Structure 1
């Protein structure tokens, strides 16, 4: 935190020390105003939820000297009071799953969340950049996950090297602000601010506020192997908890067909977060995911068929607080994390077309997925007791030719439970046999 306060003091001093002409040249003010409406209709007599939020971010970037940039961004989410989200479902005793994420889900009575989410110094050379402070990063396992009002943000140091098709990155992180919260936490503290599910013995997990980890080291290399092939490699070292090694090769078969693979290997580090078994986050010794994706692009649009397999020996664990899992089979409004012995097959179709005499362009993504889960009663393989389900998403992005700063989005989601699901509302509520709608208005400036 000392670093954050020092940067916070330095930033305005440099701003006011310049005359008004220089400030206009060197200072840039930008941001986004976002209004986000969300609705979930649950099965039968289970409670439905609604929420409406407005807010966004305001960011200021100032160029000092020739290569040094100072930046700060404040994020806000304000609850417009559509529904009291502190009142749980009467049958299960549980709150909303998606709607509370628009606000500070750890303090739902807080109607206005403010977060100094970015505060950094960035030194930029032709091929190198060095960033120190609070920032936004986008990696396969730590990323903003922009499906809420306030994204996931991090604090630490980040190095980036880029030359032609080669990218090398290295980061050291000591704090994370999980999306849908209003503050930064230490690495271990941040794990457990989201629902914790069950441990492998079937009891409620107790790793929240009991996980010890001081830092994360991230490393990445992207490079071309041949004219038609490339590979991306990531390694995520979470001190005292786990290590994730991710490889993503790609082969361009033709101008219209591309084949990609992925392998994610995890292994436990130290005591998995806590030396006491009942308080531990990462129980198993290892976990593996194998995936394959084929893409076909034509005048009619982009078609993608993706498959992921989580092997039986251990649950895939990646803190939900740190963003979405960037796996081939990912679909908005659900996760693969927390299961072992899992199959997922997803078909995506993306298309763009003009409407309203070419004044409006629409980009639509239809996603249909079948997810085969272990038994909901097997806590060792299914942390969150998620049943088999079929997942259908229709995501529509609106691009107005005369209102280029306005970027609305509409997301329609249906998740249908499959197979024999025990007659227990906890296996359905906010999980399957539901319909969900997001209406998002983004105005960028």
Structure 2
């Protein structure tokens, strides 16, 4: 869908509101006497984002940089008898950039990270970068809501929006949310997706495998793209909180591919948080019917991960230590087109997904300045997995690596309320293998990110 069509659709929703004579507060009670009241008392919100990224690869490998500018605008109607509708469009422009398609002379590869600010499925596309992100109906009732359409979802440990580029993951389906003081329950079926850094909407058989398919445990390249015959993903979540305890259980069934159960227990004391996560994954029986190289998960694999956390917060300071173990019963897998894993050791530019028989540790330290307006955070992660070439537990053939992230986040206030500045530095380096074909676009790089967001 073109940007012009998206804007026309939003204007069709919001046109009556533009000419409203009086300001309003969405929280106020409005008497709805005619259909136009739903629009004149509706709500517009959005954001503008500028993202500069510069990746400096090791030695003589080629460096890249780019600057992307974009934004989103959303409108939702005033609820009437609990029913509301919403629409949201998002767009991106390239303002200045290196030639992201100029190949590196040593490896023949081109930019990876910078392309993810635009269209990761079409490296020639820097112009048609708009997307209809939301178009939904929502019914609100006393203890929850029900939503159908292209919608914003509640983040879960695996299925999530992960808005770390110019466009997040976006989802279409149905979502039921129930909540009271101590319990929360979510049930969802998602049947279409627009992955992060893409502009089109896909059904699941089209979407799963858009990213690199990796390798099978026996070392042959995997070819499951457009072979999964999957119709969607079902999600169930239960959350409980009481007297310092937090319990969360998520179950995911990706049609014809796998089941994952993931439990999370946390205990909070003044200034302290302790937690443990455990995930268990088993393949769907349909996988056995496929040719070996077309399987997403092998029938004899059982993905298992345990993750633990100890965290201290006081007087603006934050310190935590986390450890994750992916067991040797199989690789832990979740499609990169649907979100990113959120274990306690998970940080930006690093994933556990794709590994088995691996150890991950993360140390974090941070400080809030000026009553939380300015925040400094440093993260250090070590991923100790199989060696390059040992593909039984290494889907993407990665070397063990270290990662250092440093962030400075400034949330402005008063006249500049809604403006958020983020300076984000990344250093990632392999522990054993520095072959250019292994590290280019994946490791042994420094990356500088400057992200400016304005929310309204």
TM-score by length of 1: 0.92
Worse-matched range after superposition: 428-437 or 28-37: 428-437
- Return the alpha-carbon distance in structure 1 between the equivalents of residues 246 and 319 of structure 2: 21
User: How do residues 275-294 of structure 1 correspond to structure 2 at under 5 angstroms?
Assistant: 275-283=290-298, 284-294=300-310
Q: Which residue of 1 is the match for residue 450 of structure 2?
A: 439
Q: Using the TM superposition, give the Cα deviation of residue 99 of structure 1 relative to its aligned residue in structure 2, in angstroms.
A: 1.0
The answer to whether residue 369 in structure 2 is matched with residue 353 in structure 1 is yes
Q: Which segment is superposed worse, 230-239 or 64-73?
A: 64-73
- 1:176 paired residue number: 193
1:367 lines up with 2:384 in the alignment: no
Paired residue for 2:260?
A: 244
CA deviation map 1:260-319 (0-9, x unaligned):
000011110132397121111122531100111011112250111100000011111111
Contact 1:136 1:153 in 2 (8 A): yes
Counterpart of 1:216 (choices 233, 254, 261) is 233
Partner of 1:84: 99
> In the aligned structure 2, how far is the partner of 1:115 from the partner of 1:39?
25
- Structure 2 unaligned blocks of 5 or more: 22-36
Counterpart of 1:411 (choices 421, 424, 428) is 424
Find 2:60's aligned residue among 45, 66, 69: 45
Report the alpha carbon displacement of residue 10 of structure 1 after superposing the two structures with TM.
12
Q: Distance in 2 between matches of 1:20 and 1:100?
A: 41
Closer, same or farther: CA 94–210 of 1 in aligned 2, 3 Å: farther
Q: Verify the 8 A CA contact 2:140 2:146 in the aligned structure 1.
A: yes
Q: What residue number does 1:296 align with?
A: 312
Counterpart in the other structure of 2:332: 316
Contact 1:15–1:23 (CA under 8 A) maintained in structure 2: no
Does 2:246 match 1:230?
yes
Structure 2 residue 201 is the aligned partner of structure 1 residue 190 = no
CA contact (8 A) 1:170 1:218 kept: yes
1:7-22 equivalences in 2 (<5 Å): 12=12, 20=20, 22=37
Q: Which digits, 9 at most, give the CA deviation of each residue in 1:87-134, with x for residues without a partner?
A: 232222222221111011111222230110100011111212000000
- Asked if the contact 2:236–2:252 (Cα under 8 Å) also holds between the matched residues in 1, the reply is yes
Shift of 1:20: 4.0
2:408 maps to 396
Q: Which position in structure 2 is the counterpart of 1:326? A: 342
Q: What residue ranges of structure 1 are gaps of 5+ in the alignment?
A: none
Alignment partners' CA distance in 1, 2:288 and 2:454: 41
Q: What is the RMSD of the two structures over their aligned residues, measured on CA atoms?
A: 2.4
Partner of 2:287, secondary structure, is coil
Cα distance change on mapping 1:401 and 1:342 into 2, 3 Å: same
What are the superposed Cα offsets for residues 355-392 of structure 1, whole Å, 9 maximum, x if unpaired? xxx9x931111101121111111111111121111111
Cα separation, partners in 2 of 1:365 and 1:13, compared to 1, 3 Å: closer
Confirm or deny that 1:380 pairs with 2:396: no
Q: What is the TM-score with the length of structure 2 in the denominator? A: 0.89
Distance 2:450 2:14 in 1: 40
Q: In structure 2, the residue corresponding to 1:322 is in which secondary structure?
A: coil
Determine which of 253, 262, 266 is the counterpart of 2:277. 262
| Whole-Å separation in 2 of the counterparts to 1:18 and 1:372 | 56
Alpha-carbon distance change, 26 to 372 in structure 1, aligned in 2, over 3 angstroms:
same
